[in-house]
Structure 1
Amino acid sequence: MDFRGRTVIELGAGTGIVGILAALLGGDVTITDLPMALDQIRENVRRNAAAVAAAAGRARVRALAWGRELSSFPRGYDVVLGADVVYEPRCFPALLATLRHLCGPRSVAFLSCGMRRELGAGRFFDTLLPPHFHVELLRRHDDTDVSLYRLTQQHDDTNVSL
């Protein structure tokens, strides 16, 4: 993927590796997670700062609790990334609210996760997302039961002026 000139946000970053990779590919990336994870992410960003700068990318680290204080984040990122963020059904409403806030009409979100059927990951993709997003399964690895989805915002044709 070409992230040059694109605004990117990574949700639930953990180590920040996905966001750092997007920055190494030229993206203007905001890497987010809960406050307790930020020190490790900042250290990983620091260790990769020279390579990110050489790639004309940018990486910044910010706290983000899904569904909370979303107004401090702009709407309409070009790309929203989430690796292994669909794992706890109690978090599904907050994750959905966060995706709805961050994604605009031209945004694309990529979410990958182990399907954890016992925890309802399939329900998130099959039931909760479709009223708001077009959901496309890009790849499924049967041996690990990991899937990659592409989301784009649903458009309400009743609000389109001709």
Structure 2
Amino acid sequence: MADSRPDPESEPDSVFPREVGLFADCYSEKSRFCFCGHVLNITENFGSRLGVAARVWDAALSLCSYFESHNVDFRGGDVTITDLPLVLEQIQGNVQANVPPGGRAQVRALSWGADQHVFPGDYDLVLGADIVYLESTFPLLLGTLRHLCGPHGTIYLASKMREEHRAESFFQHLLPQHFHLELAQRDEDENVNIYRARHRGPRPA
């Protein structure tokens, strides 16, 4: 299959160039994305070690596009980017390549249901893209979201609505038990939903 992305040395000619290359072991690809007037250079390190964590998924691009269309301004915020420990090196490299010196972005390991309590429980904004895909982790993810989101905070989750992963069950049955949930956007072409959630009642201790 041919790679349809623009030449890395040229300016991006679409807002979100699409990755259509096939997976293979131990190789890296550089992708360029334009978000809110900024060009982002993202390295994706494909191989068996990182697995699905290596790439930029459609739901992440849909979430970026949503914020761009609503003119959301993230400047000035303290940002914490989380993932499992084996992914942090790739994330840190991409942060260093795209965040100007002095930018307030830190990268930390987070395992749902295990160590969320070492993080503050009052984030104003919690974002997640394509993290709802393994049913056995749904209770752990829910508990983590309940801890991280402040009482007046907002969660945005973008998800490919895969039937085989029971994503609809998480959003229709589990999440509404603790959060007021709204469907903020539906992308029929990509089968991606973006949900906005806020706490229903008292926070867990």
TM-score relative to the length of structure 2? 0.62
Q: Within 2, Cα distance between the matches of 1:127 and 1:67?
A: 19
66, 85, 104: which is aligned to 2:131? 85
Asked if 1:136 is matched to 2:182, the reply is yes
- What is the aligned partner in structure 2 of residue 147 from structure 1? 193
Gaps of 5+ in 1: 1-12, 157-162
Q: Is residue 2:161 matched to residue 1:111?
A: no
Sequence identity (%): 50
Distance 1:14 1:38 in 2: 11
Please say if 1:45 is aligned against 2:88.
Answer: no
Mapping 1:23-102, distance limit 5 Å: 25-50=75-100, 53=102, 57-102=103-148
Mapped contact 1:138–1:149 kept (Cα < 8 A): yes
* Equivalent position SS for 1:151: strand
**Which consecutive residues of structure 2, in runs of 5 or more, have no partner in the other structure?**
1-52, 65-71
CA distance in 1, matches of 2:110, 2:73: 19
Q: Match for residue 4 of structure 1?
A: none
1:123 is matched with: 169
Q: Tell me the SS of whatever aligns to 2:92.
A: helix
Q: Which has the higher contact order (CA 8 A, sep 6+)?
A: 1
> How many residues are paired up?
138
Post-superposition shift, 1:101?
0.6
Cα distance per residue 1:29-74 (max 9 Å; x no partner)? 0000000000011001111232x74xxx410000001111122101
* Alignment CA distance shift 1:78-1:137 (3 Å): same
Distance 1:15 1:58, change over 3 A: farther
CA root-mean-square deviation: 2.5
The alpha carbon displacement at 1:130 in A equals 0.8
TM-score (norm 1): 0.77
Residue 143 (structure 1) shift: 1.4
Question: Cα gap change, 1:61/1:126 in structure 2, threshold over 3 Å: closer, same or farther?
Answer: same
Q: CA deviation at 1:117?
A: 1.5
C-alpha spacing 1:23/1:85, structure 2 compared with 1 (3 Å): farther
Shift of 1:25: 2.9
